[in-house]
Amino acid sequence: MAKNIGIDLGTTNSCISYLEGRDALIVPNPEGARVIPSVLAQTHDKKRIFGNAAKRQMITNSKNTIWGIKRLIGRKFNSPEIKEIGKRVGYDIVEAENGDIKIKLAEKLYSTEEISGMFLTYLKNIAENYLGEAIGDTVITVPAFFNDAQRQATKVAGEIAGLNVTRIINEPTAALISYGQKIKKNGLYAVYDLGGGTFDISIVEVNGDIYKVVSTLGDTFLGGSDFDAQVCDWIFHEVERESTVDLRDSKDIVQRVIQIAEKAKIELSFDQETLISIPYLHHFSDGSNYHFQKKLTRPQLESFTMDFIDRSVDLIKSSLGDINVKPEQIERIILVGGQSRMPVIYQKLSEYFGKPPDIQINPEEAVAQGAALQAEIIKGKVRDLLLLDVTPLSLGVETKGDTFTKIIERNATIPTKKTMVFTTITDNQTTVKIQVLQGERATASGNKSLGFFNLVGIPQTLKGIPQIDVTFEIDANGIVRASAQDKATGLTQSMKIQPSSGLSPEEIETIIQDAQKYEEKDKMELRLTRDKLQLKEEWETVKFYYQRYIEKLSPHDSAEIDALITRTEKALEGKDVELLETLLNKMKSYRIMINSILTAEFSK
């Protein structure tokens, strides 16, 4: 029987959850970690690695180590965000023919959907190995403020991974579903979600088993990575001040400093100061070396990052203002995302709302747990909870004079459908171009273009006479479909929005086929890692007792165990999965035998 799962596909870390009874449990990776770094790499021997293994070699293999892909997905190459990311990452971001982004990995170019698909395949394999059964339906979370292109790209990534994605759900909403068991009182709840790459604030009205999102705002380029970057800038500034050397152009050094900056930032959530030490940061032409060593204090970090924190509070104010709600009307404030645990954020929110935020839930696991619950809610397997989410941005069309005419306003409950009547602007016009836009700017050119389609065959007549119904429909995933109908002829043209940035259906199918070629190889790698970890644990246990209590074993058993220990030591260096599993079973049986001998001996 297939198992349904929820995936929090994060910028910095990802998490997988499933339901066991009424409890949402976490799927650990083969090393036992409950959150998995959202990092993948291709090694020098052309092996793909993921998670912690990929992150550990980021400094020595920066050009082929991909991280932060969530910040790139659904964006155009010429966007200011991409230019900023390009300064921080070690890998190459290049422009595709249609203006999209391509990522260079081991001299081959991949779309952001492909890269995300590779990582989702890894997560799927982890879940299958851990649960011992195939994966059924999957709910994947995205930032509430993701636009249509970003949502569609995430869904495509799931398809590439071979997942049946039944729902794309907003991260703050997922967190509140997870938190739901702790809700004892109806009212308004604020979910403050500051993760590794994005920020969302959602205001949710809870009335029994009905959770209705009434307002949401966010910034898809505000997160923990930006806090890290501020620490990096401080380090590079100090280096330049002391040594007159600017190291920002060295991508390998930048990756090294980013990892150290992140570690220092985390330490300052628990301590008032931390010592940043980076030996051999630079080699001078005279043969001498530069070693960086300086203390960084919590107040310094707060001063570096206060603009980001103030920005998040401004978005809270706007979100509450949209629905005419005062801070004191909020029942509870729920913190989600690793960066939300920064002490000054807790302090700022306490001051603004007049009450301390609730930190009962795990900020890095709650979103995945809520997604797992939603997967079962869709199947009707858990409590009857009605979730009413909203669209984060207005949808409309371009009209005369570069005007953006809204059809569906932001914060409209989804799924939703709305129609507006338009007409022609010139005499004898037989074709109308419907340019679909998403955003809040008054000008059409200031908003995000989701695509366009043409309604053709309109009878020739004077301008202003034809009546054309333009209908927008947003499904529960937040994905848009648009249609237009000439009321006189009944002629209709419709389309599921194919974003101006994105993959064609043919490209998606080709990528899925390529991904399937790697899937068995990736599964075998996971199996190899799991078997090695289990065998090494058994080997160390048996070796310990064998060396300490060898005199209590028969000569035959002693010789057998000695040979097995030697054989296992060699096998752990190889990649023969069948041999590893055979040795694992033998090692387990000898451990049980030694335990029984020792138990009998010590009970005398």
Instruction: Give strand pairing partners of 416.
Output: 474
Closest C-alpha to 443, from 398, 499, 408:
398
Asked whether 218 and 201 are in contact (CB, 8 A), the reply is: yes
Q: How far is CA 122 from CA 16, 125, 235, 373, 523, in A?
A: 11, 5, 35, 22, 8
In three-state secondary structure terms, 337 is coil
Distance, in Å, from the CA atom of 453 to the CA atom of 432, rounded to the nearest integer, reads 9
427 burial class (0-12, 13-18, 19+ CB within 10 angstroms)? exposed
In three-state secondary structure terms, 504 is coil
- Catalytic annotation, pick one of 113, 148, 193, 522: 193
Tally of residues, the chain: 604
In three-state secondary structure terms, 378 is helix
Q: What is the CA radius of gyration of the chain?
A: 28
Q: Encoding tokens for residue 410?
A: 């932001």
- Catalytic annotation, pick one of 3, 70, 76, 586: 70
Catalytic (active site) residue 171 = yes
Catalytic (active site) residue 8 = yes
Assign residue 46 a region (left: φ > 0; alpha: ψ between -120 and 50; beta: otherwise). Answer: left
Distance, in Å, from the CA atom of 182 to the CA atom of 272, rounded to the nearest integer, reads 32
Distance, in Å, from the CA atom of 555 to the CA atom of 550, rounded to the nearest integer, reads 9
Q: How far is CA 483 from CA 414, 443, 475, 536, in A?
A: 18, 22, 14, 60
Distance, in Å, from the CA atom of 181 to the CA atom of 521, rounded to the nearest integer, reads 40
Instruction: Give the rounded distance of the alpha carbon of 43 from its chain centre.
Output: 23
Catalytic (active site) residue 469 = no
**CB-based contacts of 556: which residues, under 8 Å, 6+ apart?**
none
Q: How far is CA 422 from CA 46, 99, 326, in A?
A: 56, 31, 38
426 burial class (0-12, 13-18, 19+ CB within 10 angstroms)? exposed
358 burial class (0-12, 13-18, 19+ CB within 10 angstroms)? middle
Rounded to 5°, angle at Cα 230 from 225 and 231: 95
Q: Encoding tokens for residue 231?
A: 């620490």
Catalytic (active site) residue 137 = no
Asked whether 587 and 535 are in contact (CB, 8 A), the reply is: yes
- Catalytic annotation, pick one of 114, 148, 171, 205: 171
Distance, in Å, from the CA atom of 543 to the CA atom of 566, rounded to the nearest integer, reads 10
Asked whether 9 and 154 are in contact (CB, 8 A), the reply is: yes
**Alpha helices, H only, 132-250:** 148-160, 171-179, 224-243
Catalytic annotation, residues: 8, 70, 171, 193
